[in-house]
Structure 1
Amino acid sequence: MNNRYVGALQAARQFWLAWAIGAAMAAVMLVLAVVEDLPLRDPDDDILPSYIRMPLIVFGTILVDILPRIAHRARLRSAWSPRALGGLWREVVAERWPASHWWFAINGVIAWYLTYATFRNIKSMAPFVNGADWDDTMADVDRFLFAGHDPAAVLHAWFGTDLMAHLMSAVYVIWIVLIPTSIAIALVWTRHTSAGSWYVTAVAVDWCLGAVLYLLLPSLGPIYAQPSQFADLPHTFNSTLQEGLWTDRVAVMADPWAADTLQTVAAFASLHVGIMMTICLVVRLIGLPRWIQVVGWVFLGLTVLSTVYLGWHYVVDVIGGIALGAFAVWVAGIATGNRDGWRVRLNPADPEESSSPAHPEALVTRSAPLPDHPAAD
């Protein structure tokens, strides 16, 4: 068989579970849209439609992978002429982007985005499909866990409602940037394809489980169910975001066809916590440097605090998110060949995992576009 098609089939096998999840979610989304007479939306079309935005993002991350290496080699060789730079471009592209890695990155991006886009649409449909409200039950469980107290009120008393509110808001902003960045690292910059497919598939599982739970156990979250608890918090970016999401929800619930947007208010389980749990476990299991692991766990702790402090989620949502994120890593590990039951099979030091002949050791631990070895030049 032609090597081109071998690479395509291998990439498809690496992401088979992500593709299967995406296809299943797309089918559910279409059925719900027909049954409930609801529109389908591009989840992020406020700036550019996804069919333009996604290729631009992928192309941009590829340039970030290639251009620093060209600049480094040009500096080592004092080769700055257009002809020399053209030769370095071809050289670096041949080393970093053989057909196998193009297939890997393209498969991963499309499979991940399919699960993400369908997740956002199903989440928007959840209150139409299931009109139940579990907020009172979630709040009762939280008060039981905190000996009769509301967890958010406890955190406000412990940490205050001024500087801490701005810090917690910043954590949410960082999380929003972190997720697409982590996908870019897993698919574009790393050459450890087993680790990359494991992480991307795990995030796809997170989206899927989140969509199922939003359909089964719809809830708003404390900030919307009990807004008076958060009246003392100062206005931050988080406040603007919460107000905007509620405005979108009101518009969608009034007339989903006229709203021209999606509603994204849902509490159980917390996918902020769930995906951070996924990141922390994958980082630990593939053996990234200790400082990265520590930063990941610290940020997970801050995410847990912020999501309760700011009223996005109940504590029970956090517990559900932790369980969801851990389960996703386990299932995705088996599906991508990185786990055998409970035993991790991934070997981060295996040079055969690399698709870059110039850098067989440049695995996930060196996934950013680091300079080339002088010896290679």
Structure 2
Amino acid sequence: MLRWPYTFAVLVSVTIGATAVYYSQTLGVGLKDPEGFLGPAYIRLPMIALVIFAAGIVPQSIHRYGLRRVIPGMRTITRDEWNWHRLGHVATGMIAFYICYVSYRNLKSYLPILREDTLYDKQLLELDHFLFFGNNPAEVLHGMLGTSVMAQVLAVLYVLYLPVVPITVGAVLVLVRDYTVGAWYATAISLNWVLGTISYYILPTLGPAFYQPQSYYDLPENGASALQMSLLRGAFNFKEDPQGGSIFGIAGFASLHVSVVFTAALFLHYAGAAKWIRTVGWAYLGFTIMATLYLGWHYVADDVGGLLIGWAAVAIGAVVTGNARWQKRRRIDPGTPEEMAESPPTTPHSPAF
């Protein structure tokens, strides 16, 4: 079990899942499955995996067997390359990700109950003004970038995060043939939900747009502002009726938008993805950080905290799945027969980026 790359992810998902169940029972608030892109997560994730599977296998079949034999070719590729062992790893990664995400959303929803009205927005806002020489970072960015076209662009890029996260998890698990690499990414993303939940309880905040909304009145209506209003309605509904269908989804520190995108960019870098993919990842991280400040989702400290969580998630995920550099060097040069006996077996495939 210690050599299985998903051991740590399974333990983490069981722990945070049990924590969510415990507080649900203690507080008398039922667990909720948050809906999102393409419906509930238990439907969304398998659908994404199936679509990515088809997107990966159809071009292979056309290339190998031609248009006339696409269907038989797909059956042959599936039979030769997709055994129960590989399917089990993909399913385990998806389930661990799903449990951690749903538990995170529910534990985040319990913030106003467990932490009552303890908020640190005033302190983080003062820190922002100090770092920007007495100015609000959002107002500085509004002056530099304008409040029309850039508002719409950053809003689209920010909201794009919602489908991007499950899609990238599904893509890495399905398309990368080295299952330890898939386990690395699934573990790292799952750790974001766990570490992010802890950060919410350590330093509860609402975020600039909810604490000081007047700083964002000049922005036009956009996808991000619509999401903010939806979260605000959900927060009010949850406080009125915790047993209802709404979830409290407002929390600032740390920024999980930043942490998850940084995790993806850093993972792609270390896993050796194609240069253009790595470039897109780092560029998206830059726009995400800018959007958090421009649109009022987060303070500067939130983004710094997000970067730290993202780095920790990738580093821990690499070690527990056998993908750290020193572990790879040890597999290449195992040393003595005793050391070789203790080393985990090398996987037969390399990342297919």
TM-score, scaled relative to structure 1:
0.84
Using the aligned pairs only, state the percent identity.
32
Supply the AA of the counterpart residue of 2:184. W
Cα distance in 2 for partners of 1:130, 1:346 equals: 46
Query: Which residue is 1:374 aligned to?
Result: none
Cα distance in 1 for partners of 2:192, 2:283 equals: 21
2:144 is aligned with 1:153: no
2:51 is aligned with 1:65: no
C-alpha contact 2:97 2:187 (8 A) present in aligned 1: yes
Cα distance in 2 for partners of 1:14, 1:61 equals: 22
| Aligned-residue offset at 1:104 | 1.0
Q: Per the alignment, do residues 327 and 346 of structure 1 end up closer, same or farther by CA in structure 2, a change over 3 Å counting?
A: farther
| Aligned-residue offset at 1:195 | 1.8
C-alpha contact 1:127 1:215 (8 A) present in aligned 2: no
SS at match of 1:170: helix
C-alpha contact 1:285 1:344 (8 A) present in aligned 2: no
2:211 is aligned with 1:241: no
SS at match of 1:256: coil
Cα distance in 2 for partners of 1:314, 1:49 equals: 30
Query: Which residue is 2:343 aligned to?
Result: none
| Aligned-residue offset at 1:49 | 4.2
C-alpha distance after superposition, 1:306-326 (max 9, x if no partner): 011000001110000001100
Cα distance in 2 for partners of 1:207, 1:313 equals: 17
| Aligned-residue offset at 1:74 | 3.6
TM-score, scaled relative to structure 2:
0.89
2:313 is aligned with 1:328: yes
Cα distance in 1 for partners of 2:215, 2:125 equals: 12
1:218-257 correspondence runs (5 A): 218-257=204-243
| Aligned-residue offset at 1:47 | 6.3
Cα distance in 2 for partners of 1:325, 1:46 equals: 23
1:94-243 correspondence runs (5 A): 94-131=79-116, 132-243=118-229
Supply the AA of the counterpart residue of 2:242. P
Cα distance in 1 for partners of 2:168, 2:13 equals: 19
Cα distance in 1 for partners of 2:193, 2:314 equals: 12
Cα distance in 2 for partners of 1:127, 1:45 equals: 22
C-alpha distance after superposition, 1:184-233 (max 9, x if no partner): 12111111222211111011111100011112221110000000000000
| Aligned-residue offset at 1:45 | 7.0
C-alpha contact 2:158 2:288 (8 A) present in aligned 1: yes
2:250 is aligned with 1:265: yes
| Aligned-residue offset at 1:86 | 5.0
Q: Per the alignment, do residues 339 and 46 of structure 1 end up closer, same or farther by CA in structure 2, a change over 3 Å counting?
A: closer
C-alpha contact 2:129 2:136 (8 A) present in aligned 1: yes
C-alpha distance after superposition, 1:132-162 (max 9, x if no partner): 1111111111112112211111111111111
Query: Which residue is 2:24 aligned to?
Result: 33
1:18 paired residue among 9, 16, 35 = 9
Query: Which residue is 2:47 aligned to?
Result: 56
Could you tell me which runs of 5 or more consecutive residues in structure 1 were left unpaired when the two chains were aligned: 1-8, 355-359, 366-377
Cα distance in 2 for partners of 1:315, 1:141 equals: 8
Supply the AA of the counterpart residue of 2:56. D
Cα distance in 1 for partners of 2:230, 2:120 equals: 22
C-alpha distance after superposition, 1:316-343 (max 9, x if no partner): 1000000110011111111111126xx4
Q: Per the alignment, do residues 267 and 165 of structure 1 end up closer, same or farther by CA in structure 2, a change over 3 Å counting?
A: same
2:344 is aligned with 1:353: no
Q: Which sits farther off after the overlay, 225-234 or 22-31?
A: 22-31
Cα distance in 2 for partners of 1:213, 1:43 equals: 20
2:74 is aligned with 1:89: yes
Supply the AA of the counterpart residue of 1:364. A
C-alpha contact 1:286 1:346 (8 A) present in aligned 2: no
Q: Which sits farther off after the overlay, 317-326 or 123-132?
A: 123-132
2:34 is aligned with 1:43: yes
2:352 is aligned with 1:364: yes
Cα distance in 2 for partners of 1:206, 1:172 equals: 17
SS at match of 2:301: helix
C-alpha contact 1:172 1:306 (8 A) present in aligned 2: yes
Q: Per the alignment, do residues 23 and 236 of structure 1 end up closer, same or farther by CA in structure 2, a change over 3 Å counting?
A: same
Supply the AA of the counterpart residue of 2:18. A
Supply the AA of the counterpart residue of 1:210. G
Query: Which residue is 2:339 aligned to?
Result: none
C-alpha contact 2:49 2:171 (8 A) present in aligned 1: no
2:322 is aligned with 1:337: yes
| Aligned-residue offset at 1:41 | 0.3
Q: Per the alignment, do residues 326 and 45 of structure 1 end up closer, same or farther by CA in structure 2, a change over 3 Å counting?
A: closer
Q: Which sits farther off after the overlay, 38-47 or 214-223?
A: 38-47
Query: Which residue is 1:357 aligned to?
Result: none
C-alpha contact 2:189 2:263 (8 A) present in aligned 1: yes
Query: Which residue is 1:304 aligned to?
Result: 289
